[in-house]
Amino acid sequence: MRWIGMVAMAVAGLVFWLGQGAQERSEDGGYLVLALSWSPSWCAAEGDARGDARCAPGAGTGWLVHGLWPQHEAGGWPEFCDTAHPPPDRRMTGAMEDIMGSAGLARHQWTKHGSCSGLSPAAYFDRTRAAFAALTFPETIRARDASLRLAPDAVLAAFRAANPAVAPDMVVLTCRQGNAQEIRLCLSRDLRPRPCDPDLLSRGCRAGQVTLPAKP
Protein backbone atom coordinates (compact mmCIF):
# COMPACT_ATOMS: atom_id res chain seq x y z
CA MET A 1 0.00 0.00 0.00
CA ARG A 2 2.89 2.34 0.82
CA TRP A 3 4.37 1.65 -2.62
CA ILE A 4 1.03 2.48 -4.28
CA GLY A 5 0.87 5.72 -2.31
CA MET A 6 4.38 6.69 -3.42
CA VAL A 7 3.50 6.00 -7.05
CA ALA A 8 0.35 8.09 -6.75
CA MET A 9 2.35 10.97 -5.28
CA ALA A 10 4.91 10.70 -8.07
CA VAL A 11 2.21 10.75 -10.73
CA ALA A 12 0.55 13.75 -9.09
CA GLY A 13 3.87 15.54 -8.99
CA LEU A 14 4.51 14.80 -12.66
CA VAL A 15 1.07 16.11 -13.64
CA PHE A 16 1.67 19.28 -11.62
CA TRP A 17 5.12 19.73 -13.19
CA LEU A 18 3.73 19.30 -16.70
CA GLY A 19 0.98 21.79 -15.99
CA GLN A 20 3.44 24.28 -14.58
CA GLY A 21 5.73 23.72 -17.53
CA ALA A 22 2.94 24.42 -20.01
CA GLN A 23 2.10 27.62 -18.17
CA GLU A 24 5.74 28.71 -18.02
CA ARG A 25 6.22 27.99 -21.71
CA SER A 26 3.15 30.10 -22.47
CA GLU A 27 4.68 33.05 -20.60
CA ASP A 28 8.35 32.60 -21.57
CA GLY A 29 8.45 35.71 -23.71
CA GLY A 30 7.59 34.82 -27.25
CA TYR A 31 5.21 36.97 -29.20
CA LEU A 32 1.63 37.16 -30.49
CA VAL A 33 -0.09 36.54 -33.81
CA LEU A 34 -3.25 38.44 -34.63
CA ALA A 35 -5.18 36.31 -37.13
CA LEU A 36 -7.60 38.33 -39.28
CA SER A 37 -10.12 36.37 -41.29
CA TRP A 38 -11.79 37.56 -44.51
CA SER A 39 -15.30 36.45 -43.58
CA PRO A 40 -16.63 35.88 -47.14
CA SER A 41 -13.84 33.31 -47.70
CA TRP A 42 -14.79 31.54 -44.48
CA CYS A 43 -18.42 31.61 -45.57
CA ALA A 44 -17.52 30.00 -48.90
CA ALA A 45 -15.52 27.27 -47.16
CA GLU A 46 -17.74 26.58 -44.13
CA GLY A 47 -20.13 29.28 -43.02
CA ASP A 48 -22.65 29.08 -45.86
CA ALA A 49 -23.17 25.37 -45.24
CA ARG A 50 -23.77 26.07 -41.56
CA GLY A 51 -26.26 28.83 -42.27
CA ASP A 52 -24.15 31.19 -40.17
CA ALA A 53 -25.57 34.68 -39.64
CA ARG A 54 -22.28 36.23 -40.76
CA CYS A 55 -22.91 34.80 -44.22
CA ALA A 56 -26.53 35.90 -44.63
CA PRO A 57 -27.38 38.28 -47.49
CA GLY A 58 -26.84 41.84 -46.38
CA ALA A 59 -24.67 40.90 -43.40
CA GLY A 60 -21.78 42.84 -44.93
CA THR A 61 -19.12 41.14 -42.83
CA GLY A 62 -15.52 41.65 -43.94
CA TRP A 63 -12.30 41.41 -41.92
CA LEU A 64 -12.89 39.94 -38.46
CA VAL A 65 -10.57 38.67 -35.75
CA HIS A 66 -10.05 34.92 -35.76
CA GLY A 67 -7.86 35.06 -32.69
CA LEU A 68 -4.84 36.42 -30.84
CA TRP A 69 -2.35 33.58 -30.49
CA PRO A 70 0.76 33.32 -28.27
CA GLN A 71 3.73 32.02 -30.27
CA HIS A 72 7.12 30.62 -29.31
CA GLU A 73 10.13 32.54 -30.62
CA ALA A 74 11.50 29.43 -32.31
CA GLY A 75 8.17 28.54 -33.92
CA GLY A 76 5.08 26.68 -32.81
CA TRP A 77 2.61 27.66 -30.15
CA PRO A 78 1.12 26.52 -26.85
CA GLU A 79 -2.51 25.41 -26.65
CA PHE A 80 -5.09 24.72 -23.94
CA CYS A 81 -2.84 25.78 -21.08
CA ASP A 82 -3.56 25.34 -17.40
CA THR A 83 -4.53 28.69 -15.91
CA ALA A 84 -5.73 29.97 -12.57
CA HIS A 85 -8.13 32.35 -14.32
CA PRO A 86 -11.81 31.34 -14.54
CA PRO A 87 -13.30 31.05 -18.05
CA PRO A 88 -15.01 34.09 -19.57
CA ASP A 89 -18.68 34.59 -18.88
CA ARG A 90 -21.35 35.17 -21.53
CA ARG A 91 -21.16 38.92 -21.16
CA MET A 92 -17.45 38.93 -22.01
CA THR A 93 -17.75 36.64 -25.02
CA GLY A 94 -20.90 38.35 -26.28
CA ALA A 95 -19.13 41.71 -26.18
CA MET A 96 -16.58 40.38 -28.72
CA GLU A 97 -19.14 39.58 -31.40
CA ASP A 98 -18.65 42.90 -33.18
CA ILE A 99 -15.02 42.11 -34.05
CA MET A 100 -15.04 38.30 -33.89
CA GLY A 101 -18.50 37.59 -35.27
CA SER A 102 -19.44 34.96 -32.69
CA ALA A 103 -19.49 34.61 -28.91
CA GLY A 104 -18.75 30.92 -29.42
CA LEU A 105 -15.57 31.73 -31.34
CA ALA A 106 -14.49 34.17 -28.64
CA ARG A 107 -14.92 31.52 -25.96
CA HIS A 108 -13.05 28.91 -28.01
CA GLN A 109 -10.17 31.30 -28.67
CA TRP A 110 -9.83 32.01 -24.97
CA THR A 111 -9.85 28.29 -24.13
CA LYS A 112 -7.32 27.33 -26.79
CA HIS A 113 -5.06 30.39 -26.93
CA GLY A 114 -6.00 32.97 -24.32
CA SER A 115 -5.40 30.45 -21.55
CA CYS A 116 -1.74 30.43 -22.66
CA SER A 117 -1.36 34.22 -22.62
CA GLY A 118 -0.94 34.64 -18.86
CA LEU A 119 -3.84 37.12 -18.97
CA SER A 120 -7.31 37.04 -17.51
CA PRO A 121 -10.14 36.66 -20.05
CA ALA A 122 -11.03 40.36 -19.70
CA ALA A 123 -7.43 41.44 -20.28
CA TYR A 124 -7.01 39.00 -23.18
CA PHE A 125 -10.12 40.29 -24.94
CA ASP A 126 -9.11 43.91 -24.24
CA ARG A 127 -5.74 43.26 -25.83
CA THR A 128 -7.37 41.54 -28.82
CA ARG A 129 -9.64 44.54 -29.35
CA ALA A 130 -6.77 47.01 -29.02
CA ALA A 131 -4.68 45.12 -31.59
CA PHE A 132 -7.57 45.09 -34.07
CA ALA A 133 -8.51 48.74 -33.48
CA ALA A 134 -4.95 49.86 -34.29
CA LEU A 135 -5.19 48.56 -37.88
CA THR A 136 -6.45 50.13 -41.10
CA PHE A 137 -7.95 48.05 -43.91
CA PRO A 138 -7.71 49.89 -47.24
CA GLU A 139 -10.55 49.86 -49.73
CA THR A 140 -8.47 47.80 -52.15
CA ILE A 141 -8.79 44.74 -49.90
CA ARG A 142 -12.35 45.34 -48.73
CA ALA A 143 -14.38 43.78 -51.56
CA ARG A 144 -18.01 44.87 -51.56
CA ASP A 145 -20.37 44.08 -54.45
CA ALA A 146 -17.89 42.12 -56.58
CA SER A 147 -15.08 39.70 -55.88
CA LEU A 148 -11.49 40.86 -56.22
CA ARG A 149 -8.71 38.85 -57.83
CA LEU A 150 -5.23 39.78 -56.66
CA ALA A 151 -1.76 38.36 -56.16
CA PRO A 152 -1.09 37.50 -52.49
CA ASP A 153 1.77 40.01 -52.48
CA ALA A 154 -0.63 42.71 -53.69
CA VAL A 155 -3.00 42.01 -50.79
CA LEU A 156 -0.14 42.28 -48.32
CA ALA A 157 1.33 45.34 -50.01
CA ALA A 158 -2.01 47.14 -49.68
CA PHE A 159 -2.26 46.15 -46.03
CA ARG A 160 1.29 47.29 -45.30
CA ALA A 161 0.79 50.59 -47.11
CA ALA A 162 -2.17 51.32 -44.84
CA ASN A 163 -0.18 50.21 -41.77
CA PRO A 164 3.36 51.57 -42.33
CA ALA A 165 4.84 50.02 -39.19
CA VAL A 166 4.32 46.55 -40.71
CA ALA A 167 7.37 45.30 -42.64
CA PRO A 168 7.27 42.41 -45.15
CA ASP A 169 8.62 39.88 -42.62
CA MET A 170 5.93 40.78 -40.06
CA VAL A 171 2.84 39.49 -41.84
CA VAL A 172 1.67 36.60 -44.02
CA LEU A 173 -1.45 35.83 -46.02
CA THR A 174 -2.95 32.35 -45.99
CA CYS A 175 -5.29 31.01 -48.65
CA ARG A 176 -7.79 28.18 -49.00
CA GLN A 177 -9.60 26.82 -52.04
CA GLY A 178 -8.27 29.70 -54.14
CA ASN A 179 -9.55 32.37 -51.74
CA ALA A 180 -7.58 34.72 -49.51
CA GLN A 181 -8.22 33.33 -46.06
CA GLU A 182 -6.35 35.17 -43.30
CA ILE A 183 -3.86 37.95 -42.71
CA ARG A 184 -1.64 36.87 -39.82
CA LEU A 185 0.19 39.76 -38.21
CA CYS A 186 3.06 39.21 -35.78
CA LEU A 187 3.07 41.47 -32.71
CA SER A 188 5.19 41.97 -29.63
CA ARG A 189 3.62 41.54 -26.23
CA ASP A 190 2.93 45.30 -26.20
CA LEU A 191 1.18 44.96 -29.60
CA ARG A 192 3.90 46.49 -31.79
CA PRO A 193 4.43 44.84 -35.21
CA ARG A 194 7.54 42.64 -35.18
CA PRO A 195 9.15 39.95 -37.34
CA CYS A 196 7.51 36.53 -37.51
CA ASP A 197 9.47 33.35 -36.94
CA PRO A 198 10.67 31.52 -40.11
CA ASP A 199 8.23 28.64 -39.67
CA LEU A 200 5.25 30.98 -39.63
CA LEU A 201 6.54 32.89 -42.64
CA SER A 202 6.83 29.61 -44.54
CA ARG A 203 3.10 29.03 -44.15
CA GLY A 204 2.15 31.95 -46.38
CA CYS A 205 0.01 31.46 -49.48
CA ARG A 206 1.98 30.24 -52.51
CA ALA A 207 -0.76 30.74 -55.11
CA GLY A 208 -0.16 33.10 -58.00
CA GLN A 209 -3.47 34.86 -57.37
CA VAL A 210 -6.23 34.67 -54.81
CA THR A 211 -9.84 35.80 -54.71
CA LEU A 212 -11.41 37.99 -52.06
CA PRO A 213 -15.07 36.99 -52.44
CA ALA A 214 -17.61 39.81 -52.31
CA LYS A 215 -19.31 40.60 -49.02
CA PRO A 216 -22.71 38.97 -48.54
More confident residue, 205 or 216: 205
What is the number of other CB atoms lying within 10 angstroms of the CB of residue 59?
17
Position 44 scores a pLDDT of 95
More confident residue, 155 or 216: 155
Q: Is the pLDDT of residue 186 over 60?
A: yes
Question: Do 86 and 111 touch, CB atoms closer than 8 A?
Answer: no
Distance CA 70, CA 200 (A): 12
pLDDT confidence bin for 23, thresholds 50/70/90: very low
Show me where the domains of the chain are located.
2-212
Phi and psi of 77, rounded to 5°? -155, 155
Q: Is the pLDDT of residue 189 over 50?
A: yes
Distance CA 65, CA 99 (A): 6
pLDDT in tens, 138-179: 999 998 889 999 999 999 999 999 999 999 999 999 999 999
Q: Is the pLDDT of residue 19 over 80?
A: no
Amino acid at 199: D
Fold of 2-212: Ribonuclease Rh; Chain A (3.90.730)
Region 33-48: what's the mean pLDDT? 96
Torsion of CA 97, 99, 105, 106, to 10 degrees: -80
